[in-house]
Amino acid sequence: MIEVNDLHKSFGKVKVLNGIHLEYHPGKIYGLVGENGAGKTTLFNCIMGIYDYTGSITKSKTLKTGYLSASNFFYSQITGLEHLE
């Protein structure tokens, strides 16, 4: 499980994430939808520990997390799903 509570992220004076709360549970499929620049990638970068943030992110100790960007694949001839397989 991943639990995000009161997550905030700013770049300088620009607030990108402001008080995000969410839970991801094992065995479920989730989608995160939003316009360009809405903060989707920033949220995942915070969850993965790439960006500093304020608030809390709790991950179960047995959870294995990974992140596969939609661009810059090592093997551009295969899909994101094929990378995961």
**Sequence ranges of the domains in the chain:** 2-84
Can you give the pLDDT at residue 26? 85
User: What value does the mean pLDDT of the chain take?
Assistant: 86
pTM of the model: 0.74
Tokens of 3: 């639990």
Three-class SS of residue 22? strand
Whether residue 25 has pLDDT greater than 80 = yes
- Residues near 22 by beta carbon (within 8 Å), at least 6 away in sequence: 3, 4
Residue 5 in tokens: 């509570």
